[in-house]
């Protein structure tokens, strides 16, 4: 995606468009950046990375109990076996939801997130509202986001304060017994792997 560097985004010099463009121009003039590499990186993050990588792991673990066990015991080894590499997965732990236990992931200090498994984090995950509240009142926050848990369900919040990154393994919805790996992976949303949604059969 090559960007024409024009100066026609409007006229407010403090708008994010103008300011970012001016910064990029300065960096390019100083030889600190290569615009083609900027383009390539954006392309990779926008199109090659994303929740489909994590979704495939989830779907496979629903179909193969041995794989699920390995994923929960030693996700790093599974990622190595599956040749999944990239940013922000130095050490990964998978937390399985089960009846009576629900897991949800946050980073209260910044916005740590398993990029190589889920792509870039959504804005709400990086918002101060989510970061501050989900450790103090997760049941209420999840309900506001559309996930009302049974009052008896234990909530386990994982605050990503070291370089360990967490992924939630959501429960397989009923009515999906006939589906194959690809079809199951299609059902698994990003938000279910952060722990703010359940996977639905349709």
Partner 1 sequence: MSTDHRVHDIGGTEGWGEVPYDPNEPVFHDDWERRVLGLLFQVLPHTAKRPGEFRHALERLASEDYFCADGYYGRWRAGMEVLLHEYGHVDKAELDNRLGVPHGTSAGYRSANVAAVNPKSLPPDRNTPLPERRTVRRELDEPPQFQIGDRVVAAGNDESGHTRLPEYVRGVAGTVVKIHPAEVLPDSTAHNLGDRPQHVLCVAYQAKDLWGEDAEEDVVVNVDLYESYVELKEGVS
Cβ-proximal residues to 172 (8 Å cutoff; 6+ apart), any chain = 62, 184, 199
162: annotated active-site residue:
no
Min CB(29)–partner 1 separation in Å:
10
The least CB distance from residue 188 to partner 1, in Å, is 13
The pairing of beta strand 91-96 with beta strand 101-106: unpaired
Report which secondary-structure segment, H or E, holds 131: helix 128-133
Nearest approach, Cβ of 159 to partner 1 (angstroms)?
A: 5
Closer residue to partner 1 in complex, CB, 122/173: 122
Nearer to partner 1, 19 or 69 (CB): 19
Catalytic residue among 110, 127, 132, 148: 110
**Residue 68: CB atoms within 10 Å:** 19
Catalytically annotated residue among 2, 15, 61, 107: 107
Does the annotation count 107 as an active-site position? yes
**123 noted as active-site residue:** no
Is 148 among the residues known to form the active site?
Answer: no
Q: Which residues pair with 93 in a beta bridge?
A: 166
Of 78 and 196, CB closest to partner 1? 196
CA 132-105-197 angle, 5° bins: 105
Active-site choice (2, 15, 112, 174)? 112
Is residue 134 within 8 Å of 161, Cβ to Cβ?
no
Catalytic sites, residue numbers? 107, 110-112
């Amino acid at each position: 995606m090559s960007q024409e560097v024009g100066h026609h985004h409007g006229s407010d010099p403090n708008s994010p468009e103008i300011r970012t463009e001016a910064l990029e121009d300065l960096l390019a003039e100083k030889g600190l950046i290569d615009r083609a590499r900027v383009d390539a990186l954006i392309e990779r993050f926008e199109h090659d990375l994303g929740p489909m990588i994590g979704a495939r792991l989830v779907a496979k673990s629903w179909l193969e109990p041995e794989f699920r066990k390995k994923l929960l015991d030693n996700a790093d080894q599974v990622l190595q076996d599956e040749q999944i590499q990239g940013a922000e997965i130095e050490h990964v732990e998978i937390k399985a939801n089960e009846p009576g236990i629900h897991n949800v992931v946050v980073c209260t200090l910044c916005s740590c997130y398993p990029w190589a498994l889920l792509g870039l984090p959504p804005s709400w995950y990086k918002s101060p509202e989510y970061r501050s509240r989900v450790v103090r009142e997760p049941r209420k926050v999840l309900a506001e986001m559309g996930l009302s848990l049974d009052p008896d369900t234990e909530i386990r919040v994982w605050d990503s304060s070291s370089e360990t990154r967490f992924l939630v393994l959501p429960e397989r919805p009923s009515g999906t017994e006939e589906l194959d790996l690809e079809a199951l992976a299609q059902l698994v949303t990003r938000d279910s792997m952060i722990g703010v949604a359940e996977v639905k059969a349709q």
